[in-house]
């Protein structure tokens, strides 16, 4: 059985769209999306430095665009049976589009609204995020709660991302939970917490009048790892997820429990399959990092698809 997964913010690197725009059709499609959302995806994805693409309003549209383009060019006109889609945080918009819930243009519109609204909500909030690496889950969660912090991302494989007030994050770093270490993340605010409530409202307003379809292939929800087929349910979960925790650990558990044998991470792949290798080592993985990986991804998909 085969699942396709899409990475979230932080997976971007300078020039990560360069290999894809060598194809004329991909270049033109990125140009069309750029015009539709008022953001030069081609320049940002090929010429910009790490600081420019780290900005939330740039990173999120770039990641969804890369996921869509890499999937289209790898699997269009290929007879591959895919069993599930999933995406981490903003990658869930990519997954929803690949599953047929949103068309690509609407997915780009929504991620642009999401990114700008989250960036705005984070501005002057005096909040941030830190990765807690190692330690027992219950001990880590208790430590965060005692400091008024939120477990914004539970990524499995001994990684929980804490979010909240910067002063509280400093205290966490000074006194890490037993058996763990704390690494501050270069983000502008406490994503996936109540700080993002204004972004939830903005995203809800942007999707209300749009056409939503049920998923052709089920999508695993970041909220709780549930297998979701209803388009309206999935979109409600995606909207609420902006201010709610990401339970990627539960998504990985669902993949394993559902009998998935192979997982392909669309571009810019690598982060999520790394987590999966540690959390569910029985599942084989393949990361699409550039257009050079197309043939390898197709062969992997044929090996695992539809079993």
pLDDT tens-digit profile of 78-116?
A: 888 999 999 999 999 999 999 999 999 999 999 999 999
> Do the bridges between strand 180-184 and strand 219-220 make them parallel or antiparallel, or are there none, so unpaired?
unpaired
Question: For the residues 68-75, what does the mean pLDDT come to?
Answer: 96
Q: Identify the burial level of 158 via C-beta atoms within 10 angstroms of its C-beta, where 0-12 means exposed, 13-18 middle and 19 or more buried.
A: middle
The reply to whether 20 and 89 lie within a common domain is yes
Query: In this model, does residue 157 exceed pLDDT 90?
Result: no
Q: Residue 191 is encoded by which pair of tokens?
A: 């994503």
The reply to whether 151 and 54 lie within a common domain is no
The reply to whether 32 and 57 lie within a common domain is yes
The reply to whether 8 and 156 lie within a common domain is no
The reply to whether 240 and 215 lie within a common domain is yes
Question: For the residues 246-264, what does the mean pLDDT come to?
Answer: 97
The reply to whether 292 and 159 lie within a common domain is no
The reply to whether 175 and 257 lie within a common domain is no
Q: Hunting for tokens 């349910």 — which residue is that?
A: 233
Q: Identify the burial level of 261 via C-beta atoms within 10 angstroms of its C-beta, where 0-12 means exposed, 13-18 middle and 19 or more buried.
A: middle
The reply to whether 30 and 163 lie within a common domain is no
Where residue 77 sits, what CATH number does that domain have? Answer: 3.40.366.10
The reply to whether 203 and 251 lie within a common domain is yes
Tell me the catalytic residues.
Answer: 89, 192
The reply to whether 292 and 227 lie within a common domain is yes
The reply to whether 161 and 19 lie within a common domain is no
Report helix, strand or coil for 155. strand
- DSSP class of residue 135? S
How sure is the predictor about 238, in pLDDT bands with cuts at 50, 70 and 90? very high
Q: Which CA distances in Å does 135 have to 151, 179, 251, 275, 277?
A: 14, 4, 21, 16, 19
Query: In this model, does residue 228 exceed pLDDT 80?
Result: yes
Between CA 12 and CA 41 the distance in angstroms is 13
Considering its fold, how many domains does the chain have in total? Answer: 2
For 215, the domain range is: 2-122+193-304
């Amino acid at each position: 059985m085969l699942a396709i997964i899409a990475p979230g913010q932080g997976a971007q690197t300078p020039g990560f769209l360069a290999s894809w725009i060598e194809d004329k059709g991909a270049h033109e499609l990125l140009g069309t999306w750029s015009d539709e959302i008022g953001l030069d995806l081609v320049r940002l994805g090929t010429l910009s430095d790490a600081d420019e693409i780290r900005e939330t309003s740039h990173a999120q549209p770039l990641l969804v665009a890369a996921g869509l383009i890499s999937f289209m060019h790898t699997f269009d006109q290929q007879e591959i049976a895919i069993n599930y889609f999933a995406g981490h945080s903003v990658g869930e918009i990519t997954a929803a589009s690949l599953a047929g819930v949103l068309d690509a243009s609407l997915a780009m519109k929504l991620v642009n609204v999401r990114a700008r609204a989250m960036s705005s909500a984070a501005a002057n909030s005096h909040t941030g995020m830190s990765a807690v690496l190692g330690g027992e889950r219950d001990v880590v969660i208790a430590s965060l709660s005692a400091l008024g912090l939120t477990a914004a991302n539970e990524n499995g494989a001994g990684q929980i991302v804490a979010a909240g007030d910067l002063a509280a994050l400093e205290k966490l770093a000074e006194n890490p939970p037993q058996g763990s270490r704390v690494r501050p993340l270069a983000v502008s605010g406490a994503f996936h917490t109540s700080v993002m409530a204004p972004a939830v409202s903005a995203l809800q307003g942007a999707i209300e009048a749009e056409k939503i379809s049920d998923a052709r292939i089920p999508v695993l929800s970041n909220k709780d790892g549930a297998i979701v087929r209803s388009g309206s349910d999935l979109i409600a979960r995606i909207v609420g997820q902006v201010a709610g925790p990401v339970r990627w650990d539960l998504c990985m558990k669902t993949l394993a429990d559902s009998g998935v044998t192979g997982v392909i991470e669309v571009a810019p792949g690598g982060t999520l399959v790394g987590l999966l290798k540690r959390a569910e080592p029985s599942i084989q993985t393949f990361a699409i990092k550039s257009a050079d990986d197309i043939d390898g991804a197709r062969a992997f998909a044929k090996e695992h698809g539809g079993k």
